[in-house]
């Protein structure tokens, strides 16, 4: 069978299948070309056993030891099927599957939560998959069952971080028509989540410098999501005669940069409350617009 068929029959995505092949938990497929490979029933049965072993909490070493015993069989499907670990006698098969699904969701959410924390604290380049799985006490196979790699996890974590950071204030800002007041409201909203806000900015820049197109696109989207609304408010203020003529993009970059600079100073010296931060940024607003 092709890997698409193996995915469908086993319920395991190909990234996890490739990882199990890399670990040597599965025997190599039969290759008929550079990008063409065929899998057999032995692969399907071993994948079933790997999932059963993971659900029972066996370590990767224990899974490998168990599968090593299977290697001695002659490939007869009935013999191979007989080696699959039996379900616990106290739980019928449908109940066991339901519990397994709940556990799968729990593992995935735990990985996402840990990834969000590490990406925020350490950045993309300094976050390691090994640290995530050690923190959660799970195997690598569990991580790679849900995510292709660290960057795949990053692509799911960052939009959630951005949305959750401002989820409580967008509606009030949208309802405000005065562009000056809107900018002040943005400053106040950001001042309460400065650590996360600056972390998101760093992650966006790091992603934009990554060689992988998906990450660069994500970085640009986050960058536009932060700078775009500020630019729009400045443009609106210029049209209304509230601000002098200026380059909205440059002004937005200056304001966002001011937040980062003040936050950096506060993290070193301390003693700046969110209210003080808002006042300082508001003062920078007036200086910037007067200078323009």
- Helix/strand/coil for 13: coil
Lookup: tokens for 53: 């072993």
Q: Which of 169, 165, 168, 220 is nearest to 194 (CA)?
A: 165
pLDDT tens readout for residues 160-191: 887 776 666 677 887 888 888 888 888 778 77
Alpha-carbon gap, residue 120 to 203, rounded angstroms: 8
126 and 203 Cβ atoms separated by less than 8 Å: no
Neighbour count for residue 171 (Cβ, 10 Å): 8
Helices 93-122/41-55 angle, 10° precision:
80
Lowest mean pLDDT among 1-5, 124-128, 158-162, 241-245: 158-162
Tell me how crowded residue 20 is: count the other CB atoms within 10 A of its CB: 21
Query: Domain coordinates of the chain in residue numbers?
Result: 3-72, 94-147, 158-291
| pLDDT bracket for residue 114 (50, 70, 90) | very high
DSSP H/E element including 30: strand 30-33
Average pLDDT of span 237-257: 87
Three-state DSSP class for 226? helix
The counts of H helices and E strands in the chain are 15, 2
3 state SS of 31:
strand
φ and ψ of 241, to 5 deg: 80, 15
Is-contact 6 48, C-beta < 8 A?
Answer: no
* Band (56; pLDDT cuts 50, 70, 90): low
In this predicted structure, what is the pLDDT of residue 98? 30
| Domains 3-72 and 94-147 alike in fold | no
Q: Which CATH class is domain 94-147?
A: mainly alpha
- pTM, rounded to two decimals: 0.56
State residue 115's pLDDT score.
92
High-pLDDT (> 90) share of the chain, %: 12
pLDDT in the model for residue 162: 76
User: Which class would CATH give 3-72?
Assistant: mainly alpha
| pLDDT at res. 33 | 79
Mean pLDDT of all residues in the chain? 76
What is the residue-wise DSSP string for 117-172?
HHHHHH-TTT--HHHHHHHHT--HHHHHHH-SSHHHHHHHHHHHHHHHHHTTTHHH
Averaged pLDDT for residues 48-77: 61
Task: Decide if pLDDT at 218 tops 60.
Answer: yes
Tell me the C-alpha distance between 93 and 72, whole Å: 28
Q: Could you tell me which of 116, 145, 133, 127 has the C-alpha nearest to residue 13?
A: 145
Residue 51: Cβ-neighbour burial (10 angstroms; 0-12, 13-18, 19+): buried
Q: How far apart, in whole angstroms, are the C-alpha atoms of residue 95 and residue 132?
A: 30
DSSP assigned state of 33:
E
CATH assignment of 158-291, among 3.30.750.200, 3.40.50.1820, 1.10.357.10, 1.10.760.10:
1.10.357.10
Give the closest residue to 247 by CA, choosing from 292, 209, 287, 283.
Answer: 292
Distance CA 14, CA 1 (A): 13
Provide mean pLDDT across the span 69-76: 46
Highest mean pLDDT among 44-48, 86-90, 281-285: 44-48
């Amino acid at each position: 069978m092709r890997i698409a068929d193996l995915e469908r029959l086993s319920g395991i995505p190909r990234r996890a299948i490739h990882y199990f092949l890399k670990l040597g938990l599965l025997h190599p497929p039969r290759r008929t070309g550079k990008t063409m490979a065929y899998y057999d029933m032995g692969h399907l049965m071993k994948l079933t056993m790997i999932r059963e072993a993971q659900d029972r909490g066996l370590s990767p070493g224990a899974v490998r030891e168990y599968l090593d015993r299977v290697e001695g069989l002659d490939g007869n499907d009935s013999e191979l099927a007989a080696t699959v670990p039996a379900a616990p006698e106290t739980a019928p098969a449908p109940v066991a599957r339901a519990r397994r699904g709940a556990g799968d969701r729990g593992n995935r959410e735990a990985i996402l939560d840990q990834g969000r924390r590490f990406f925020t604290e350490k950045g993309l380049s300094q976050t390691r998959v090994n640290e995530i799985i050690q923190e959660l006490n799970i195997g690598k196979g569990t991580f790679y069952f849900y995510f292709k790699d660290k960057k795949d996890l990053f692509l799911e974590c960052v939009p959630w971080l951005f949305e959750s950071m401002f989820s409580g204030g967008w509606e009030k800002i949208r309802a405000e028509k005065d562009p000056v007041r809107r900018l002040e409201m943005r400053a106040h909203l950001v001042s309460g989540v400065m650590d996360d806000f600056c972390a998101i900015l760093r992650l966006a820049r790091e992603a934009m410098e990554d060689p992988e197109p998906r990450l660069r696109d994500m970085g640009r989207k986050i960058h536009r999501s932060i700078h775009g609304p500020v630019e729009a408010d400045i443009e609106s203020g210029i049209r209304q005669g509230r601000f002098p003529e200026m380059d909205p993009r440059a002004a937005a970059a200056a304001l966002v940069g001011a937040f980062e600079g003040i936050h950096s100073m506060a993290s070193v010296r301390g003693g700046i409350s969110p209210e003080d931060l808002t006042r300082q940024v508001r003062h920078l607003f007036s200086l910037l617009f007067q200078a323009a």
